[in-house]
Each structure stands twice: as structure tokens, then as C-alpha cells.
């Protein structure tokens, strides 16, 4: 993976620079939040989030969200499964006219379908919205990938 540069202040207030290709985060006992940086799978630094210089928290967040974006890119096809278990999920459409679809059964990726747009939500990444009827919007969200939609069907059974 491509490395990014992170600037931070060390304990003496000196500005330092590090290269990282992945990261994670940890909070010890509910205390301050630390950003953990890795290079080629080896942990190279653990920095208090407040010590990152302005603008580098956004770099950290993009680096943190990279694995989910990569996973989405690697899907050969997109299968959208209608999801209605709103009470037990992070997927929570705000309005009645919205429909939530999980992407390839992944709990961390979903699409919200609205009347004139679709919004892609991927864990630790900013939502992406594309306009148009839902078919056009989905094709814009996933260019060049075959898309299948699976809807839940309610069947009435009389006894």
C-alpha cells in the first residue's frame, strides 16, 4: 500500500514526521485516544490524537478507512441485500421512503436508496451520494461492476 506522511509533536514539543501505510486506534481504560501507526505490518508509533498537527487528523481518518475502501474495490460484483432489521443495526434510514441495502452481506458497508439518489456508507469513510434514479445512481457508485439487488418478499400464509 501507498505510504502517507504524518506530522505530530513529540513529548518535548518538537515536530516529528513519520511514514505509515496503515493505522488503528486505541483508548486505554476510556482515557485519551491514541493513534497507532504501522509500516509494512510493524507498529512504528503510538501517538496521542491531540498531538497530531492540524490537518493530519483527517489524514489519519482516511488512512484508517483505507481497508474498507480496498475491500469494496476488490469486489468483482456488487450484490445489494435489502435490510430491514433497523433496531439491531447501524443502518438506520431516517425516512419511510428510504431503503437500506447491505453490500455483499458486509455489516460495515451499505447503500441507502432514496427517490432521486443513492448514498454509499462505508465504515470509517465519508458517505458518497450520487444523484439520479436509483439504477443510474447505483451505476455511478459502482462503475463497471455488475450489480444485483435482492429484495425481501413478504408472503402471507393463511392458516
The predicted-structure confidence for 84-116, as pLDDT tens digits, reads as follows 655 545 555 555 668 888 999 888 889 998 889
Residue 130 or 85, more confident = 130
pLDDT at 92: 55
Q: Mean per-residue pLDDT for 129-145? A: 92
**Candidate from 9-13, 52-56, 68-72, 131-135 with smallest mean pLDDT:** 68-72
Overall pTM > 0.95: no
Tens digit of each residue's pLDDT (9 = 90 or more) over 12-62: 999 999 999 988 888 888 788 899 999 998 999 999 989 999 999 888 888
User: Is the confidence at residue 1, as pLDDT, over 70?
Assistant: no
Least confident of 61-70, 92-101, 113-122, 126-135: 92-101
Q: What is the mean pLDDT of the segment spanning 131-137?
A: 92
Residue-wise DSSP of the chain: ---EEEEEE-TTS-EEEEEESEEEEEEGGG--EEEEEEETTEEEEEEEGGGBPTTHHHHHHHHHHHHHHHHHHH-SSEEEEEE--GGGSS---SSTT-EEEEETTEEEEEEEE-SSEEEEEETTS--EEEESSHHHHHHHHSTTS-EEEE---------
Amino acid at each position: 500500500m501507498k505510504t502517507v506522511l504524518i506530522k505530530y509533536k513529540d513529548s518535548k514539543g518538537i515536530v516529528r514526521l513519520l511514514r505509515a501505510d496503515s493505522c488503528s486506534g486505541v483508548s486505554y481504560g476510556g482515557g485519551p485516544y491514541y493513534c497507532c501507526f504501522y509500516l509494512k505490518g510493524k507498529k512504528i508509533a503510538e501517538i496521542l490524537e491531540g498531538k497530531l498537527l492540524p490537518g493530519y487528523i483527517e489524514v489519519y481518518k482516511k488512512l484508517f478507512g483505507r481497508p474498507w475502501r480496498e475491500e469494496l474495490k476488490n469486489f468483482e460484483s456488487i450484490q445489494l441485500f435489502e435490510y430491514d432489521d433497523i433496531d439491531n443495526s447501524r443502518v438506520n434510514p431516517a425516512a419511510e421512503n428510504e431503503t437500506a441495502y447491505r453490500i455483499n452481506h458486509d455489516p460495515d458497508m451499505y447503500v441507502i436508496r432514496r427517490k432521486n439518489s443513492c448514498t454509499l456508507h462505508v465504515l470509517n469513510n465519508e458517505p458518497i451520494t450520487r444523484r439520479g434514479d436509483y439504477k443510474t445512481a447505483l451505476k455511478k457508485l459502482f462503475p463497471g461492476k455488475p450489480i444485483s439487488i435482492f429484495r425481501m418478499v413478504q408472503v402471507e400464509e393463511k392458516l
